Amino acid sequence: MTPKRGTRFVAYVRVSTDEQAREGVSLEAQRRRVTAWAELQEVGLVEIISDEGLSGSTLERPGLQRALAMLRAGEVDGLVVCKLDRLTRSTRDLLALVAELFEDGSRALASIAESVDTTTAAGRLVLTVLGALATWERETIAERTSEALRHLSAQGVKMGREGYGWRYTEAQDGEGRRVVEDVPEERAAAQRAAALRAEGLTLRAIAERLTVEGIGTKRGGRWHAKTVRSLIGAA
């Protein structure tokens, strides 16, 4: 991508909380990269705007909205990011931005890692394909993770905090994971709640009934509609 010399750009950099420690993703690393890019391309870098600790799954980020406002107001001619996923992780949002701000070629979107040039039709096509591929990759990983968790659950392997009706033991399986066991009295309570629900009682009424019957929560507290809903799911 070779933007026109003298073009004014605003740079946008972002990190989400879980990315801050990763090499090459930090805000400072991104600032250095966009500054070097601007010098190499001989374009003006009006400002570097950042969002820290915010996900790229939504466009509702203060820094990003300010950068987009500068584009809309004509204060700058283009927007530069180190990588497209710094701008957004949503193909739908990416396409919406391209359609609104970059489709006619009057403004430029520069992505350093992908060498995207939205001032050409070919560049806009490449941008769309890259965005779609990134979304496909994330969704594939999410599906695989979900499937792995379902498989572990089917084998009796619990993840995270203890739930109502089961608890961790000190024993471990062959892969070093803690073995779990049922808690009969908690299972009975869950079945009692499910039976009351089948009789047509509301969640609040079930919470009151369990409290009257002396059945406590996992930590011995009072039941509420929200916790009763989770309890019935454990039946």
Q: Which amino acids are annotated catalytic?
A: 16
CA distance 229 to 18: 31
Q: How many CB atoms lie within 10 A of CB 13?
A: 25
- Tokens read off for 75: 């204060």
99: Cβ–Cβ under 8 A, 6 or more apart, which residues?
Answer: none
Number of H helices, E strands in the chain: 8, 7
CA distance 204 to 226: 9
**DSSP string spanning 83-114?**
SHHHH-S-HHHHHHHIIIIITTSSSEEEETTT
Q: How many CB atoms lie within 10 A of CB 117?
A: 19
Place of tokens 């509301």: 202
Residues constituting the chain: 235
Q: State how far Cα 167 lies from the chain centre.
A: 30
**In 3-state terms, the chain is what percent helix, strand and coil (to 5)?**
50, 15, 35
